[in-house]
Amino acid sequence: MRGIIGHDAIARQLERAAERGRLAPAYLFAGPPGVGKTTLALALAQTALCTAPHDARPCGACRACRQIERRNHPDLMLIEAGRSLGEQDATPTRARVIPIERIRVARQAAALSPLEGQARFFLLRNAEDMRPEAADALLKTLEEPPPRSHFLLTVLDPSLLAPTLVSRCQRLALRPVPLPEVAAALRAHAALPPEEVDRLAHLAQGRVGWALQAATSERFRTQYEAMRERLIGLCHAGDHDRLAYATELAERYERDRRALDEPLRVWATWWRDVLLAGLGRDDGSVHIDLGALARAVALQLTPPAVSRYLWRIAEAARLIAGDVRGHVAPDGLFVDAARVAPGAAALWPTGSVNARLALEVLFLGAPRPARVA
């Protein structure tokens, strides 16, 4: 498959299924943001709808391949939060959910014959954004899948979807791409100094899509660096600044459920780098350009303290990920709230998960090393 980096086994599996005309009714592409889920799903649609000979598919040059690349092929429908079916060129809004109406339209279209190709494809990006009733409607379709219609779902983690829905899909887990392959992709697609290739390859953590965007978009890179600098600066900040940032992130989360993905990833990897530095190791570090700062911070803390805080970051991320599903918060969150923010837990219903509370507890409870000169 064209443009697939680091997922060769999955790509070959899908190519064989397409060549034999044995594609599953639904595929679930799971993995972190930027790892290549949407790219692989679109490559599958290209392989199936390409008009070139079988051994040359996808060719990337025929009309069908070009239309799929532009996401406007008549037999490809894109479904995501903030985008209406049939509006493939529209810019998604910041709506957080995929309503049932979009799934209903997809179900109706799936019952029809393909318009140009041999099959129809329905790409549901971030399927965890579906409302429960939308997921139920999709499940009904997958229980009796229409012939020649295929649903391609992308998701951060299968646990964010109902088990019954997951069971109707063929699961494809996209693992982080090895560092050398990410670096090779950067060298092939961007003219960067070797040290910058190495830095971005480490920051990407196996996400080729993220790495290429960081390498080719100055705006993306500038925004990321500003966010990282501000986050790491919180290590030496007081309660006021920590609470202000927690509030800002919570407000972003209300508009966009994925607004916390990268900040929490940066926060977690930074403290992991500090832990590694405290253990006298630098292999596996992510922020390789900040190694000296990580070592200086590590000198002021104990590895067990940093390790415990890393567990709290993971717990907060898990709670926030389950927020819209009404998961019940463990007592530990409210014990922490009472300890680091007295009275804060009383502002929310007992047992409920709230992103703002989780973020406030997370940042207020972070280790507080002295500022390093």
Q: DSSP label at 159?
A: G
Q: Say which amino acid occupies 42.
A: L
Residue range of the domain that includes 250: 232-364
* pLDDT given at position 69: 92
pLDDT tens-place string over residues 128-153: 999 999 999 999 999 999 999 999 99
Q: DSSP label at 6?
A: S
Q: Do 161 and 13 lie in a common domain?
A: yes
Q: Do 157 and 258 lie in a common domain?
A: no
pLDDT tens-place string over residues 13-57: 999 999 899 999 999 999 999 999 999 999 999 999 999 887 888
Domain boundary among 173, 202, 223: 173
Question: Does 337 have pLDDT greater than 80?
Answer: no
Q: Do 259 and 154 lie in a common domain?
A: no
Averaged pLDDT, 218-236:
95
* pLDDT given at position 255: 81
Q: Do 25 and 154 lie in a common domain?
A: yes
* pLDDT given at position 315: 86
CA separation for the pair 316, 212 (Å, rounded): 29
* pLDDT given at position 288: 97
Residue 187 lies in a domain: no
User: Could you tell me the CATH number of the domain that includes residue 125?
Assistant: 3.40.50.300
pLDDT tens-place string over residues 47-60: 999 998 878 889 98
* pLDDT given at position 373: 61
Q: Structurally, how many domains does the chain consist of?
A: 2
Q: Do residues 41 and 29 lie in contact, with contact meaning Cβ atoms separated by under 8 Å?
A: yes
Helix (H) or strand (E) holding 196: helix 194-204
Q: Do 252 and 349 lie in a common domain?
A: yes
Q: Do residues 327 and 340 lie in contact, with contact meaning Cβ atoms separated by under 8 Å?
A: no
Q: Do 51 and 146 lie in a common domain?
A: yes
* pLDDT given at position 211: 96
- Choose the weakest-confidence range: 161-165, 221-225, 237-241, 352-356: 352-356
Domain boundary among 133, 153, 173: 173
Residue 269 lies in a domain: yes
* pLDDT given at position 90: 37
Residue 191 lies in a domain: no
* pLDDT given at position 325: 45
* pLDDT given at position 75: 96
Whole-number Cα distances in Å, 35 to 40, 204, 305: 10, 9, 31
Residue 42 lies in a domain: yes
* pLDDT given at position 91: 40
Choose among 120, 155, 137, 158: nearest CA to 35. 155
Q: Do 150 and 17 lie in a common domain?
A: yes
* pLDDT given at position 326: 38
Q: Do 15 and 158 lie in a common domain?
A: yes
Q: Do 12 and 159 lie in a common domain?
A: yes
Band of pLDDT at residue 101, cut at 50, 70 and 90: very high
CA separation for the pair 292, 302 (Å, rounded): 17
Q: Do 123 and 241 lie in a common domain?
A: no
Domain boundary among 128, 149, 173: 173
Choose among 114, 123, 154, 366: nearest CA to 264. 366
Question: Does 333 have pLDDT greater than 80?
Answer: no
Averaged pLDDT, 166-175:
96
Max mean pLDDT range (64-78, 89-103, 322-336): 64-78
- Rg of the Cα atoms in the chain: 22
Q: Considering the entire predicted model, what is its pTM?
A: 0.83
Q: Do residues 10 and 24 lie in contact, with contact meaning Cβ atoms separated by under 8 Å?
A: no
Residue 261 lies in a domain: yes
pLDDT tens-place string over residues 347-367: 433 333 478 888 999 999 999
Q: Do 19 and 164 lie in a common domain?
A: yes
Residue 202 lies in a domain: no
Residue 185 lies in a domain: no
pLDDT tens-place string over residues 282-307: 889 999 999 999 999 999 999 999 99
Helix (H) or strand (E) holding 357: helix 355-364
* pLDDT given at position 323: 56
Residue 190 lies in a domain: no
Q: Do 241 and 348 lie in a common domain?
A: yes
Q: Say which amino acid occupies 355.
A: A
